[in-house]
Amino acid sequence: MLNRTVAPSIVDAVNFNLQLQPYQKYTLKNGVDVYAVNAGAEDVLQIEWYFEAGNWYDGKNLEAALTNFLLKNGTTSKTAFDINEHFEYYGAYLNRNCGAEFANVTLHTLSKHLEAVLPVVREIFSEAAMLQTEMDISVQNMKQKLEVNLKKSSFVAGRLIDSYLFGEKHPYGQFSRYEDFDALTREDLINFYEQYYKRGAFKIFVAGKLPANLFALLEKYFGDFDNQKPEPKLHAVHPHLHKKHRLINDEKSSQGSIRMVRPFVNRKHPDFLSAQVLNILFGGFFGSRLMANIREDKGYTYGIHSYLMGNRHENGWMITTEAGRDVSEATISEVYKEMALLREEPIDEEELMLVKNFMMGSILNDLDGPFQIIARWKNIILNELEEDFFEKYISNIKNISAATLQETATKYLVEDDFYELVVV
């Protein structure tokens, strides 16, 4: 019998044996790969279609984003209202999103209603109308949103810092202007849609309580698309010549939006895993060095954060915060002081164990449910990583040493490599 007077032993999260539940793979007759995780107790399902149709393939700026947005806004036989009404009737939700490399459509539905909603998803991929009226409304709304956002220092800082790092014409660095909207035509969107959706390459990710006829249904509705992989596009990186930038966006603002970034490797590089641990220690969680110094000790900001960009190709290491206008320069100086400490002094074992336990605990939380599990696999598959990437990631957290982290800091946390931007 359990003795409740004796407290259970405490086990550090770093000692957990975390496993990533394997996926089932099915390939449709047209070569489209389907990755599925059958888990969860509820009768719900998430399906995601990932097309090679992100900003990377833009002919004109905003072409990919606006095409993706208009997918739900009418087909040759259904209005936008009809489409939304259909999904709402079955308690389903359809969303779309356009990123740098991929554009995706996500469906959440009860498993029992899958057969009723898939035909409309197919229609969106094969018969989207890209109506001029819908395009005009969307462009007007986007322009208005842009006008509002340009008054926010954080928005301006976010778009400028990427352009400094990659160049304004690079997919990772380009940002929208009013003239970009005016340059787009309906014909541009139709051509993009025809090439990258109707004939384009895609992958399908499914998670939840899988119905027995799942693969048969996916074969029926998506097994006859062309699935033509687009020609690879090369984009040259043209970083800004100057690394220190200060911009006044609002003379009356009392706050500065600070962004600091350096070029960095992508997930395939051997340094990426050690940098992930170093980043958490540096500025990746509430107990990080940057938070302890700049928030808790100096009181310059409510929060400061650093992260490794998740781009498929070129990458960056970013630091972001909002601080008082009068202490923005002091904040940047403190960031560089923390970098210097990580280069010059080894991390003590207690702090390293804290970071390891935080990371392992966060991963454990991220694996709580089928949608989170498939998200992990999606990251591995779309970035064309090795199947054992998750195991290597866990092993790296458990076994990385203070010496390795110091070497990584010495290599990458170097003041001269960082672009600085303050927007007030």
Question: Is residue 304 classed exposed, middle or buried when 0-12, 13-18 and 19+ CB atoms within 10 A define those classes?
Answer: buried
Straight-line distance from the first to the last Cα atom of the chain, in angstroms, rounded to the nearest whole number: 64
Q: If we measure between CA atoms, which residue out of 419, 407, 267, 417 comes closest to residue 346?
A: 407
pLDDT at 5: 81
Sign of CA dihedral 50, 93, 119, 126: negative
pLDDT at 366: 85
pLDDT at 22: 95
Q: How far apart are CA 208 and CA 139, in angstroms?
A: 36
| CATH superfamily name and code, 244-423 | Metalloenzyme, LuxS/M16 peptidase-like (3.30.830.10)
Question: Phi and psi for 329 in degrees, rounded to 5?
Answer: -65, -40
> Quick count: other Cβ atoms within 10 Å of Cβ 283?
25
Q: According to CATH, what is the number of the domain 24-222?
A: 3.30.830.10
pLDDT at 6: 78
- Domain range summary for the chain, segments of one domain joined by +: 24-222, 244-423
Tens of pLDDT, residue by residue over 86-127, are 999 999 999 999 999 999 999 999 999 999 999 999 999 999
Q: pLDDT below 70 — which residues of the chain? A: 1, 10
Q: Are 354 and 289 in contact (CB under 8 A)?
A: no
* Alpha-carbon Rg for the chain in angstroms: 24
pTM over 0.85: yes
CA angle 170, 177, 321 (to 5 degrees): 70
Q: Same CATH fold, 244-423 and 24-222?
A: yes
> Quick count: other Cβ atoms within 10 Å of Cβ 172?
22
pLDDT at 232: 85
One-letter identity of residue 358: F
One-letter identity of residue 244: K
